[in-house]
Amino acid sequence: MSHVLMLMPLKPLRGGGAAEEEEEEEEEEEEEEEEEEEEEEGEEGEEGEEGEEEEEEEEEEEEEEEEEEEEEEEEEEEEEEEEEEEEEEEEERRRRLAIYNLGVNILADLSPEIHINGIVRAAYAFLSNVRVAFRHMDKEMFRNIYVTYSG
């Protein structure tokens, strides 16, 4: 402590020791206030650490919830895409089945058991079915039929 005293500037004495005592009391009060502030800051620091831990836990929970929501959204999108694909496949299957049935009807109309008046009706029905069938065919199906029957 002697070195601390050496660093303190020397004050000239003015009119007695009462002024010095007041200054010492003020300094002691300031030191006490500083100590109290430091203690309060220390308590706040401990509370702050607990608060920070709680905040971190809440942030982690929020992040986990967001990730779960994103995963659920992705699963829903995948399910919707699968349903759309299944619907498209079902439509394609129905379309092909309808064309097949038209072909079966055409062949049934050309049956050799048809009598003379039936031939006219069969020809008309055949042409009607062909017209309907051509409406439902795509280019690839038409090309396959053309290549098959053109010889």
| pLDDT beyond 90 at 77 | yes
| pLDDT beyond 90 at 114 | no
- Provide the b/e sequence for 17-45 (b: ≥16 CB within 10 Å): eeeeeeeeeeeeeeeeeeeeeeeeeeeee
Give 9's pLDDT tier (boundaries 50, 70, 90).
Answer: low
Burial of 145 by CB count in 10 Å (0-12 exposed, 13-18 middle, 19+ buried)? Answer: middle
pTM here is: 0.32
* pLDDT the model gives residue 101: 77
Distance CA 57, CA 63 (A): 10
* pLDDT the model gives residue 88: 93
How many C-beta atoms lie closer than 10 Å to residue 78's C-beta? 10
* pLDDT the model gives residue 135: 72
Distance CA 36, CA 42 (A): 10
- Residue with the two structure tokens 């010492």: 24
| pLDDT beyond 70 at 8 | no
